Structure 1
Amino acid sequence: MPQTNSQRQFPANKQPKRLLLVLFLATTLLGPVQQVNAQLNTDRVMAIGRSALYFEDYVLSIQYFNQVIDAKPFLAEPYFFRAVAKLYLEDFKGADEDCTLALERNNFMVRAFLCRSYARMSLEDFDGAIEDCIKGLEFEQDNKSLMQNMAVSQLEAKRFDDARKSLADLEKRYPNYVYTHMMYGQLHVEEGDTLAAVEDYSRAIAIDPHFAPARAGRAYAYLLKDDYANALPDLDEAIRLNPDAPGYYINRGLARYHLNNLRGTLDDFDSVIRLDPNNALAWYNRGLIRSQVGDLNRAIEDFDKVIQLDPHHHVAIYNRALVRTQVGEYKAAINDLDLIINEYPEFTPALYQRSEVKRKAGDAKGADKDYFAAWNLDEKLKSEREDRRRNPDKYAAADSLRNANREAKREAARDIASFNQTILAEDDNTTMSQYQNPMRGRVQDRQVELDIEDLYTLTFYEQTRPGPTRRLMDYSRYLTPFQQAGIKDFQRLLITNLEQSLDNKQAAEHFKSIEQLSSKIGQDPSNPRYFLARAIEFALVQDINSALDDLDRSLTLDPSQTLAYFARANLRYRRMNVELAEREEDMVNERSAADNRMTTISSLSSSNRNNALNDNDIRSTNSRTANRGVLSGSTSTVMPRSTMSGNDRNLNLIGESTFGMDYELVMRDYERVLELDPTFIYAWYNRGNIRCLQRDFRNALVDYTKALEINPDFADAWFNRGLTHIRLGNRAQGIADLRMAGQLGLYKSYNLIKRFE
């Protein structure tokens, strides 16, 4: 099989380069909600919808916003927040339409322009996104997110001069903003100036040496220059900083390939497939390498997987035909080549190859027919090329169409002439948008950060865990009373810190369960299990205050319910986070109102200037119950979660100084749980978390240690205790704890171990 080591091709199914698409979704929550009566209380329903959105129950939140829209279709807010939920669900068309409806009702809603600009960028409507950014900037000239989205859209639309002007303006207003230099790098890559791109990414690295996408971006620029030796250390560092980015491994694999390190290349592609089993690019590249080193049967398996993922990946089909020929699978090889020739009738290498296969299979007549067909086609194409050289005007229109078709094929990575090329993972900055854009963020997509693992809570639904699931204690005895009270399905109640959001069907089931339990309570108002069960149901649909009311009633009837105290502590803490978010939004809105009075702009937006993302802040990675960055009354307000940063200004205290008795009530409930059952491991762990978030690190260590004494297989407790030790300066002990967490399956511990060592 012919090989051309220096050639490259861009990845299949290229997605738009979502470079730094900043849409900080900081939804704040309003007051408690109750069941909707005959006359809809839109404020309460709106509040519960925003609560559901805040806790990532997107489908559920849409149902609530629908109710508000039905009752008061003239309001802009429910359309806007429904758009945010649709963005989370990647319904970009629906988000675009809802933002438009919101703007028809309030044309000064800057956050709706920002939201729609992101939706349109995702739909590749870059001109529309630019228009939204321009309109939004009329009201907030210093809005960093809008300025950034406009520059990105101009880059995508190939309006490079406009993008350069936008970046110059962004750099003037925010000179140390790392993403400006990242976008400059992308601009120079698009223009083919890789030397300037290297300088741009170097400036970004100087601003933030620990920002993995900057290292990966500079490595990509080096790869475009065929400077594999300089690309390799940058990719090594990017992977050290963020070991969960498949594209980094793909590009390092290609750098190693060109440096003749085939074993390292295969290791990198193996890592990609482990991280992303549906990454066709990794399967394809590994198949190519395996075919080169003679591992033919496994190369076929890799190409099979590529074709399973993308049945129209003709490059993989052609390569599979070549390898099948080598292993003697002639009939299968001919079938593959038939597909290629039907799709690319002028691709003569396929005809020559089919001729060879037919000859080996004993079909001499068919082999000769293919051979002469290929030879005649080659002569015809040669004559046509000569005629085109002599008479270019004659072929101008045809060439234009041919070029358009070729570009379309390149976008889909279908250029069959590139059959022997390893494919470079283009620096489309997907990982950068994931780093900055919380709406697309999940722990598996983000850089590992210094953030403790989340609280454990009661639910029926759990996200898939990356490792084996371990039940740390037997809590079945706490579920038996539900069964005895005739309450169905509560035997499957879980205690987890990976709570899964509800889908439409699940939400409907739990609303129905609330009605059924209400009926039972009406018949037997003295049964504490009914109130506890309904409280759990209310919590699932994000009606926190109604859940707390039921827990109070349940504990009044039976003050010995360990599970009720545990649930109430968790919900009280959750409500504290909600109220903190609401207070921060009120502060932002007050500043915005003052700005509006000065500028005489009647806008409902909030100021972005005082709440822009601090690139050095450490934010939450996996918490449904902690604060997270989302879209609120502010166009880009970030609600920072309490962190484990060494810099105390990044630590968001939720404690006695802010909430007084609320905090005390949370701690009392956990203490009551432990009085009733000293082996209730999740109460020790949760109380340790809250103490840690209050910077009461020494007492947090005591709680984590107690949890580990009860069950030494508690990976999250090892992880959190390790970070707490490090926060106190006990680095060696902290690393030892992180190592135990990694050994128990919490893989991200290894990244932190490398960083601290």
Structure 2
Amino acid sequence: MVSLINTEIYFCEVRLVLVLTILLGTLTLQAQLSTEKYVSLARADLEDQNFTLAIQRLNFAIKASPYNVEAYFLRAMAKHQLNDYQGAIMDYSHCIRLAPTSSAAYQNRGLSRAKSGDNAKAIEDFNRSIKIDPSNYFIYINKAYSQLQIKDYEGAIASCNRAISLNEYLESGYLFRGIGNAELKNLDLAILDYTNTLEINPKNDEAYLRRAIARNENLEFSLAIEDCDSAIAIDSTSSMGYFVKANIYAERLDYDRALTNYDKVIDLTPNNALAYFNRANVEVRQNEYTKAALDYRQVTKINPDNILGHFNLALTYHKLGKHELAIKSYDKTIELYPEMEDAWFNRAFAKKKIGDQEGAQFDYMKGNEIRGENQSKIFNVEDANLLKKKTHLDADFYRPNFNEEENQIAVYTIPVFEIKETDYKSVSNSNLKYNIKLLTTYNEGNANLPFFYLSNTLLQEDFIKPELRKTALNEALNGTNNELEKRNWLWKAVWLKSNFDYNNSIATYDSLIALYPDFSLAYFNKASTQFDLLELLLKLEAGSGSLIELGEDAKSAQLNDMQTLTVQLKGIEELYLKSLESSPDFYYAWFNIAIVRSELKEFNKSIDAYTKVIKINPDFAEAYYNRALTYLYIDNSKKACADFSKAGELGLSNAYEVMKMYCK
């Protein structure tokens, strides 16, 4: 049986230390007025924590003045606050190239590297920062944080000593030094450091909890419980105090009090898998196997890929004599981690209990084979990281359990673009969001009657009554000029589609293409109309309320023949390609092609299409965002996170929300 898991180490958040005065000296006196204005506004945005808007302003500043160090520095700060650590690192690196003696740039790049998990490089940055500014105690504390992360406890203590020598009232210096001493089992020194932390800040609940753990290890049981109670008194909404208290009681074999405190943890944070796991372990010790099985099952619901939950659940079913259920849990354990020899041996025992002698023999032999392999296996970091991932248990002790719908981040693919129309007198900013030269030229050549613009289903637009547009369209269709006739046919096709008359809209595009075989806008919009119709049919026939998204399988009574669906999607792709023949820079066509290729499961070709979009228009945020989602689908999180970063930088704020989930 796996023993109780103790609380993980939770480090204090180190705030960014911004030394802007160091950077200001690098700015040229000839900086453009517009640059200064945007930088000034961005500073205010940062103060107001409006980080996305700050980035947008700084983009303008950098375009106007590409060597403005402060603009890069502030943008890096904003990206860091949005958890875009890779984007922040890139901007801080640019600062360093422009101002190599900036201690603040090295220090903050180190912070971003530490937050992204690259503590070794973070320490290198902190060392460079220290050479430039050796009296800045915050740099030593940041360095100590990273040293703790890589388990260089003696180095962390040395960094804290230096920081404390520069500021004897440095709360985090004593706290971090206490952590280092505790890890080295210098418990008396650790307790003294935590006590010093509390003398500086009596409201530091983390210091109380760490001192409680150290005191418990030092056999000062009563004092440890008192520290837990003190932490709980400071923050009654945090379940960490109850969790540490429960662990202490469990180690002292006071199971009833341990269960009472685990119950409190779960009341405060119902999705805390670690608390369920530890409570189940205590219930097993009390021979409460049914209760333990329920808790282990909850662990597997919260963390479906956790092998400890599945394995311990199987053991509990064993104790209850439910061998078929035990076999299912062993099956899942082996599926997740085939190298776990005990799962093979135990499943053999369970199969023998239900009379499956052949299966039992196979599992027993397989277990012996794996045991031999494990004994001769050389340590592999990649394997160790995989095992760590498979044994991770979610445990957020500080965030309450919100309703799942309220806590859900929208992850959507930017949908296909299409050409729409409106009365030129009613044109709003939303109609100009995706304006391009091709359409501008066409509108100007046709007296802006109607006004054609690019849009998609995500764009909020003003609604114009269809009957008003129909009257205007009927009047226009009486024209005889060839160019006007061409415009009016396009108008009619767009209007029909807006009224969900897909078949007549497509027929009108066919007529238009027959008359004007080089008319790229007709091919483009016919393709978008067909794609929209195909999605609508799949949606209706599947009986679901959502459209096909990236990577989803089409489930339809009539269209479930994937070969038929593929033929239709290939036809749509050909139409988009046809539109590019006469307008090769029409990057919206490549964007839509990328979406079609994703539906065809041709993800690498989809990425190629998004890359073509970006080559034509490097500032098209939507292409970076969709390409990032495609990279995620093929498990290339590194490139995905880089694209999310760029999309966020270019104004798609949802990219930063997605990064919080996938770019930790």
TM-score under structure 2 length normalisation: 0.52
Q: Any conservation in 1 of the 2:246–2:262 contact (CA below 8 Å)?
A: yes
Equivalent residue number for residue 43 of structure 1? 36
Aligned equivalent of 1:146: 139
How do 1:517-596 residues align onto structure 2 when only pairs under 5 Å count?
none
- Does residue 1:265 correspond to 2:242, yes or no? no
* Counterpart AA for 1:145: F
- Indicate conservation of the 8 Å contact 1:40/1:71, yes or no: no
Match of 1:234 among 227, 237, 247: 227
Cα distance, 1:136–1:443 mapped onto 2, change above 3 Å: farther
Paired AA for residue 176 in structure 1:
Y
2:201 maps to a residue whose letter is D
Q: Which amino acid aligns with 2:148?
A: L
Taking structure 1 as reference, are residues 153 and 351 closer, same or farther at Cα in structure 2, changes over 3 Å only? Answer: closer
Aligned partner of 1:81 in structure 2 is 74
User: Residue 8 of structure 1 contacts residue 424 of structure 1 at CA under 8 Å; is this kept in 2?
Assistant: no
Instruction: Give the match for residue 538 of structure 2.
Output: none
User: What does the per-residue CA deviation read over 1:532-560, in whole Å, with 9 as the maximum and x for residues that have no partner?
Assistant: xxxxxxxxxxxxxxxxxxxxxxxxxxxxx
1 CA distance for matches of 2:147 and 2:156?
Answer: 5
Cα distance in 1 for residues equivalent to 2:108 and 2:73: 8
Task: Give the Cα–Cα distance (whole angstroms) in 2 for the partners of residues 197 and 222 of structure 1.
Answer: 9
Equivalent position of 1:310 in the other structure:
303
Deviation at 1:366, TM superposition (A): 3.0
Which residues of 2 match residues 541-690 of structure 1 at below 5 A?
none
Shift of 1:316: 0.6
Structure 1 residues 71 and 154, CA gap change in structure 2 (3 angstroms): same
One-letter amino acid matched to 2:225: L
1:43 to 1:304, Cα distance in 2 relative to 1, 3 A: farther
Q: Matched residue of 1:244: which SS?
A: coil
2:215 match: secondary structure: helix
**What is residue 210 of structure 1 aligned with on the other side?**
203
Give the structure 2 partner of residue 448 of structure 1: none
**1:65 aligned partner:** 58
CA contact (8 A) 1:229 1:259 kept: no
Gapped regions of structure 2 (runs ≥ 5): 22-31, 408-454, 463-664
Q: Secondary structure at the match of 1:41?
A: helix
Partner Cα separation in structure 1 for residue 251 and residue 124 of structure 2: 44
Counterpart in the other structure of 1:189: 182
Matched, 1:96 2:113: no
1:402 equivalenced with 2:379 (yes/no): yes
Q: Any idea what SS the aligned residue of 1:402 has? A: coil
* 2:266 pairs with 1:289: no
Counterpart contact for 2:106–2:125, Cα < 8 Å: yes
Distance 2:317 2:159 in 1: 52
The aligned amino acid for 2:65 is K
Aligned pairs for 1:299-448 within 5 A: 299-327=292-320, 329-342=322-335, 347-371=340-364, 401-402=378-379, 404=381, 408=385, 411-412=388-389, 414=391
After TM superposition, the runs of 4+ consecutive aligned structure 1 residues lying more than 6 A away are: 25-28, 442-445
Give the Cα–Cα distance (whole angstroms) in 2 for the partners of residues 370 and 162 of structure 1.
48
Q: Is the 2:157–2:176 Cα contact (8 Å) retained in structure 1?
A: no
Q: Partner residue of 2:165?
A: 172
How far residue 369 of structure 1 moved from its aligned partner, in angstroms, is 4.7
Query: In structure 2, what is the equivalent of residue 32 of structure 1?
Result: none
Counterpart of 2:241, as a letter, is Y
**Residue aligning to 2:249:** 256
**Distance in 2, Cα, partners of 1:257 & 1:158:** 27
* Per-residue deviation, 1:318: 0.4
Contact 1:325 1:333 (C-alpha < 8 Å) held by counterparts: yes
The whole-number CA distance in structure 1 between the counterparts of 2:169 and 2:139 is: 17
Q: Pick closer, same or farther for the CA change 1:424–1:56 going to 2, 3 Å.
A: closer
Q: Aligned equivalents of 2:38 and 2:17: distance in 1?
A: 23
Contact kept, 8 Å, 1:114 with 1:145, in 2: the verdict is no
Change in 2 beyond 3 A, CA 1:69/1:8: same
Deviation at 1:149, TM superposition (A): 0.8
In 2, Cα distance between the equivalents of 1:267 and 1:139? 53
Please state how far the C-alpha of 1:75 moved relative to its aligned partner: 0.9
Aligned partner of 1:105 in structure 2 is 98
CA, structure 1 residues 27+111, in 2 after alignment: closer, same or farther (shift >3 Å)?
closer
Counterpart amino acid of residue 414 in structure 1? T
Distance in 2 (alpha carbons) for counterparts of 1:335 and 1:227: 44
Percent identity reads: 26
**Counterpart check, 1:132 vs 2:109:** no
Change in 2 beyond 3 A, CA 1:133/1:444: farther
In the superposition, relative to structure 1, how do residues 62 and 308 fare at CA in structure 2: closer, same or farther (>3 Å)? Answer: farther
Larger Rg: 2
Say if 2:76 and 2:92, in contact at 8 Å, map to a contact too. Answer: yes
Give CA-to-partner distance per residue, 1:148-196, whole Å, 9 cap, x none: 1122223334444443332222222212322222122121223233343
Flag the 1:117–1:275 CA change in 2: closer, same or farther, 3 A: farther
Residues 360-400 of structure 1, C-alpha deviations (whole Å, 9 max, x = no match): 434344345545665x569x76xx99xxxxxxxxx9xx56x
1:178-219 CA distances to partner (integer Å, 9 max, x unpaired)? 222212212122323334322322333344333222111112
* C-alpha distance in 2 between matches for 1:271 and 1:59: 38
Over residues 10-69 of structure 1, what are the superposed CA-to-partner deviations in whole Å (9 max), with x where a residue is unaligned? 67xx78x645523257999xxxxxxxxxx9933333333333322222222222222222
Q: Deviations for 1:230-277, whole angstroms, at most 9, x for unmatched residues?
A: 422211111211223333322111112223443432333333334444
Contact 1:228 1:258 in 2 (8 A): no
Change (3 A) 1:18 1:113: farther
Q: Hey, what's the Cα distance between the residues in 2 that align with 1:344 and 1:311? A: 13
Q: Residue 77 of structure 1 aligns to a residue in which SS? A: helix
Give the aligned residue type for 2:258. Answer: T
Normalised TM-score (structure 1): 0.46
Q: Decide whether the 8 Å contact of 2:76 with 2:88 is kept in 1.
A: yes
Cα RMSD (Å): 4.2
Mean Cα deviation higher: 80-89 or 107-116: 107-116
Shift of the 297–67 alpha-carbon distance from structure 1 to 2, 3 Å rule, reads farther
Q: What is the number of residues matched between the two proteins?
A: 401
Report the Cα distance in structure 2 between the residues aligned to 1:44 and 1:322, rounded to whole angstroms: 66
SS in 2 for 1:192: coil
Residue deviations 1:275-297, cap 9 Å, x none?
44443212322333344445555
> Superposed, which structure 2 residues align to 1:696-707 within 5 Å?
none
User: Given residue 90 of structure 1, which amino acid in structure 2 is its aligned partner?
Assistant: N
Summarize the Cα distance change of 1:86–1:268 in structure 2 as closer, same or farther, 3 Å threshold.
farther
**Residues 236 and 173 (structure 1 numbering): CA distance in 2 closer, same or farther, change over 3 Å?**
same
Q: Secondary structure at the match of 2:203?
A: coil
**SS of the residue 2:66 aligns to:** coil
- Kindly provide the amino acid, as one letter, of the partner of residue 240 in structure 1: A
Q: Which amino acid aligns with 1:69?
A: I
Indicate if the aligned counterparts of 2:307 and 2:337 stay in contact, CA closer than 8 A: no
| Matched-pair contact (CA < 8 Å) for 2:163–2:173 | yes
The amino acid of 1:193's aligned partner reads N
Equivalent position amino acid for 1:253 in 2 = A
3-state SS of the aligned residue for 2:16?
coil
CA 1:180–1:230 in 2, change beyond 3 Å: closer, same or farther? same
Kindly provide the CA deviation profile for residues 43-102 of structure 1, in whole angstroms up to 9, marking residues without a partner as x: 333333333322222222222222222222211122212211211211111111111112
Deviations 1:448-502 (A, max 9, x none): xxxxxxxxxxxxxxx979xxxxxxxxxxxxxxxxxxxxxxxxxxxxxxxxxxxxx
Q: 1:166 to 1:230 in 2, by over 3 A?
A: same
Q: Contact 1:215–1:234 (CA<8 Å) still a contact in 2?
A: yes
Seen in structure 2, the aligned counterparts of structure 1 residues 18 and 81 have a Cα distance that, compared at 3 Å, is farther
Does the 8 Å contact 1:346/1:377 carry over to 2?
no
Alignment of 1:418-497 (within 5 A): none
